[in-house]
Structure formats: C-alpha cells, structure tokens
Amino acid sequence: MDLLSILSNSLRGAFGPEAAIYALAAVGLNLHFGYTGLLNFGQVGFMLVGAYGTAVPVVAWGLPLWVGILIGIACAIALALLLGVPTLRLRGDYLAIATIAAAEVLRYIYRSEWAEPLTGGVFGITQFANDFYDFNPFSGPFVVGPFNFSANALWVMTVGWGGTLLACGLVALLIHSPWGRVLRSVREDEQAARSLGKNIFSYKMQSLILGGVLGALAGSLMAINTQALTPDVFMPILTFYLWTIMILGGASRIMGPVLGAIVFWFLLTFLDSLLRQAIGTGVIPSGWLESSDVGAIRFAFVGLGLMLLMMFRPAGLLGKQKELRLDVR
C-alpha cells in the first residue's frame, strides 16, 4: 500500500473546492443553529436556489455570470421570507418541518418537465461559468510534492476559502456586537429576550436570510466548480453532511464549520483511498468487500467517528465543553 498517496489524496480532499463549498454553507447553518437556535433542515434548498439562480440566467437569457450570482442571492432571500414569515412566530419545530419539505419540493420543481426549458430538468445545464474562469489568474497546474491541483480547481479553491474566511470574519463581527447578543439571547430564551423589548421575529428572520444567502453563495460556487448542474446533487443528505460538519467542528464557534469541513473531507477521502488500496492490494480479501461498496462504507465510518466524538468531545472539536453542562440545574 502506498501511504504517501493515500495521505496526499486525503489532504487534497480536505482543502479541495468541495470542502470550501461545504464550509461556506455550514457557516450559514451555524448562524442559524449555532447562534440563533433555528432548526434549519433544508440548507440544501438555499444552495439549490443559489446554484440555479446563478446558472439559469446565463444559459437561458445570456446574462453575465455576476448578475446570475446576484439573482441567486435574491432567490435565497425570497426563500427565507417564504419559509420564515409563516413559521418563525411558531414553535421551533415548525421551521424544521417547513425547511426539510421546502428543500425537497424545490428539487422536484427544478427537475420537473414543466421547468425543463429553464433548468434542463433531470439532465441539467452545463457550461455557464466561463466568465468565472476567464478571470483565473493561475496559468498552470499547482504541483508541490504530492499536491496536485489544476489551475481551475486552484481558482475555485482561492475564491471558496477566501469567501469562507470573509464570511467567518463577518459572522465574528456580528456575533460580538449588540446585534449578536440579541441573536444569542433568542437562542437561549425567546421569552426573556421579548420581555426586554427585543423583536425576536425580526432577528430570527434576519438570521435566516443571512445564513440562507451564505448557503446560496456556496450553491453558486458548487455550480461554478463543476460547470454542470443537475437537481439530484441537492439531495436532503447534503443538509445532513452540513449538520455533521457543524457539529464536528463545534456549533456556535466561528471557525467550527471550517475545521469541521476540513476534517469531514479528510476522513472521507482518507477512508476512500485506504479502502480502495486495501482492496486493490488484497489486504482486504476480495469477497469481503468490493470497491463498489467503498462509497457507502466510508460514510459508516464517518458516522462512527461522529459517535465517538459525541462521547468524548460532545461540543465538537472547537466547542467549549463546559457550555454543555450548563443545562443541568
């Protein structure tokens, strides 16, 4: 077995474009859940409207890509209002139900025959992000030792991680302001915040919109990264990867989602490479495990890892473990 290549694969996974995209979407989710206590189980819905908002105007109407990105953001705001207005005045679980349902409904609408002229239905749309790659400052691939990224991947990574860090910076500024104090008080006890004159509905709405827009930007980048968009990329399971990432890194920590995404993608690619090599070299006898099983097995291992984490570091890698004990009176 070639350990060096396993390791380099894993590191590529950990810092690759996908990790950046997931991190950005998880920063939005962290604003929702970690800081406001909103149960959003449909972050993938925001990614979907962001991705299609970006691609459709370019392909269908020939608009420039940056207009598409703005339209993606506008779609996320509309979705947040649509979800928030009826549910944010109610108990927390209503938002959870509404978001999980809305994300699935949206996926079915975007893949329906009815929407096909715009979205390309199940076949999706391709080649809409050439504007983005025209701006690529990198001319050749990046090769240092075992690392190897194409120029385009490098460009997406730069924008993705740069954007994620900017988003983290913005969240940090917001959370450490009086605005963030109200947000966290809503998470702790809505009634107490209300008794002190805070309009909690408005704050929950602002949080839902802001986190949703971050999700939409992640969706845009996801579309741009592959230059190919199909609705079935946006399965509900993606939302749960984002939750895993947030909890892994530590909810309500600024850098939690970033570390979570890196660790998540490291583990995923590490297990993938390791198992494939083990099968290929006969360390795991064929008949025990086929390489076609690897995709599923690695998620089982991630699940196991998450269980161990919850047992030994329940507040996540960066979380303050002390905070969790506070609920005990």
**Shortest approach of another protein to residue 201 CB, angstroms?**
9
Cβ-in-10-Å burial (0-12, 13-18, 19+) of 322 comes to exposed
**Shortest approach of another protein to residue 284 CB, angstroms?**
45
For residues 113 and 249, the answer to whether their CB atoms sit within 8 Å is: no
Angle at 112 between CA 109 and CA 118, to 5 degrees: 85
**Shortest approach of another protein to residue 322 CB, angstroms?**
8
**199 or 281: whose CB is closer to another protein?**
199
For residues 229 and 251, what is the distance between their CA atoms, to the nearest angstrom? 30
**Shortest approach of another protein to residue 189 CB, angstroms?**
5
**169 or 303: whose CB is closer to another protein?**
169
Amino acid at 240: F
**166 or 304: whose CB is closer to another protein?**
166
**194 or 313: whose CB is closer to another protein?**
194
**Shortest approach of another protein to residue 74 CB, angstroms?**
18
**191 or 292: whose CB is closer to another protein?**
191
Kindly list the distances between the CA atom of residue 9 and the CA atoms of 20, 70, 171, in Å, as whole numbers in the listed order: 16, 34, 31
**69 or 182: whose CB is closer to another protein?**
182
Q: Where along the sequence are the contacts to another protein (CB under 8 A)?
A: 170, 173-174, 177-182, 184-185, 187-189, 191-200, 206, 210, 252, 322-323, 326-327, 329
Angle between helices 3-15 and 256-280 (to 10 degrees): 150
**213 or 302: whose CB is closer to another protein?**
213
**Shortest approach of another protein to residue 273 CB, angstroms?**
39
How many CB atoms sit inside 10 A of residue 329's CB? Answer: 3
For residues 50 and 116, what is the distance between their CA atoms, to the nearest angstrom? 17
For residues 209 and 43, what is the distance between their CA atoms, to the nearest angstrom? 11
Annotate 57-82 with three-state secondary structure: HHHHHCCCHHHHHHHHHHHHHHHHHH
For residues 26 and 242, the answer to whether their CB atoms sit within 8 Å is: yes
**Shortest approach of another protein to residue 116 CB, angstroms?**
38
For residues 160 and 19, what is the distance between their CA atoms, to the nearest angstrom? 9
